[in-house]
C-alpha cells in the first residue's frame, strides 16, 4: 500500500503489526488510522467490538489492514492471551499504542474508592499489562515501539482529577523506567502528553471552560486528534530509533 497521510507526514510501516488500545474513538481511532494508512496491520482493541465498527470501516475504506478485538485492559489473563494470539496469528508485533483511558472526575474528598480504582486499573495498570505482554515478544524480535498516552495533567496536575493525574504521571514514570530496560534490545518506549484535544473526553467539560482554555493556549485553539496521531506515527517510525524514554508534549504551547 502506498504511503500517504492527510497529516503531511509519512512513514514506511509496511509489513509491521500494531496494537492500539482504546481505538474506538478520538485519539485511539486517529492513531490506528494513521498507522494503517502508512502500511501497518492494526489490531484495534476495545471492551466491545461493536464500538470499533466505525474505526474498522474507516481504515477499510482507506485500503488498510485492520481487525477488531474485544479486550478488557484490566483483565490480566485476557491481555496476555490476546497479545500472544495476535503475535501467533500475525507472526510479529512491532508497535503498541497504550491509549485506553477513562476519567471519573471529582474533588478528592468526594472521590469514592471505586472512582479511584477504576481510573488506576484502566489507565495505568492496563498500560502496564500490555507493555509487559508486548515487551516479551519485542525483546525476542529485538525490535519494537511502545507509545504510552500520558497527558499534560500528569505533568502539571488538575483540580478534580487526582486519580487521572496520578495515572498519567505514573505512565511517564513507567515510560522512562521501561525505556532503560528495553533500549539494548532495540525497543523504544516513549510517551505523548496531549493538552486540550477535541474529543468526547473534553467535550463534557462544556463550551465555557473550553473557550477559557483556548485563551490560555498560545496556539489559540484546541488540538485535534490528528495532531496526536502525527506524534504517534513519528515515534512508531524507523526514523525515531534513537528516541526513547521521552515525553513529547503536544499542547499548543500551554505548558511552555
Closest CA to 146 of 186, 180, 84, 97: 97
The residues, ordered by sequence, that sit 6+ positions from 225 with a Cβ below 8 Å of its Cβ are 26, 27, 29, 30, 197, 198, 199
102 φ, ψ (degrees, to nearest 5): -135, 160
Name the residue with cell 492496563.
126
Q: In what order do the strands lie in the sheet with 65-70?
A: 65-70, 41-46, 17-21, 95-98, 144-149, 187-194, 247-250
**Of the residues 164, 167, 201, 223, which is catalytic?**
164
**Is 242 labeled as catalytic in the residue annotation?**
no
Residue 38 in contact with residue 64, Cβ under 8 Å?
no
Residue 38 in contact with residue 3, Cβ under 8 Å?
yes
Residue 56 in contact with residue 70, Cβ under 8 Å?
no
For residues 175 and 146, give the distance between their C-alpha atoms in angstroms, rounded to a whole number: 9
Catalytic residues: 164
Amino acid at each position: 500500500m502506498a504511503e500517504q497521510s492527510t497529516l503531511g507526514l509519512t512513514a514506511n510501516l509496511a509489513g509491521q503489526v500494531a496494537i492500539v488500545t482504546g481505538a474506538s474513538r478520538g485519539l485511539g481511532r486517529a492513531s490506528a488510522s494513521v498507522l494503517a494508512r502508512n502500511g501497518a496491520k492494526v489490531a484495534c482493541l476495545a471492551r466491545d467490538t461493536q464500538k470499533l465498527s466505525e474505526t474498522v470501516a474507516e481504515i477499510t475504506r482507506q485500503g488498510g489492514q485492520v481487525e477488531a478485538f474485544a479486550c478488557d485492559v484490566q483483565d490480566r489473563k485476557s491481555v496476555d492471551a490476546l497479545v500472544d494470539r495476535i503475535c501467533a496469528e500475525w507472526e510479529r508485533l512491532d508497535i503498541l499504542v497504550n491509549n485506553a483511558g477513562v476519567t471519573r472526575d471529582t474533588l478528592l474528598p468526594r472521590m469514592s474508592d471505586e472512582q479511584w480504582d477504576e481510573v488506576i486499573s484502566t489507565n495505568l495498570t492496563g498500560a502496564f499489562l500490555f507493555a509487559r505482554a508486548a515487551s516479551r515478544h519485542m525483546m525476542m524480535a529485538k525490535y519494537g515501539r511502545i507509545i504510552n498516552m500520558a497527558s499534560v495533567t500528569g505533568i502539571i496536575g488538575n483540580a478534580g482529577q487526582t486519580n487521572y493525574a496520578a495515572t498519567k504521571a505514573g505512565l511517564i514514570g513507567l515510560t522512562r523506567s521501561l525505556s532503560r530496560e528495553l533500549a539494548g534490545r532495540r525497543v523504544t518506549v516513549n510517551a505523548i502528553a496531549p493538552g486540550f484535544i477535541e474529543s468526547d473526553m473534553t467535550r463534557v467539560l462544556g463550551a465555557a471552560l473550553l473557550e477559557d482554555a483556548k485563551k490560555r493556549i498560545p496556539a489559540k485553539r484546541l488540538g485535534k486528534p490528528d495532531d496526536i496521531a502525527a506524534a504517534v506515527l513519528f515515534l512508531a517510525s524507523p526514523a525515531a530509533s534513537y528516541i526513547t524514554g521521552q515525553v513529547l508534549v503536544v499542547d499548543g504551547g500551554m505548558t511552555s
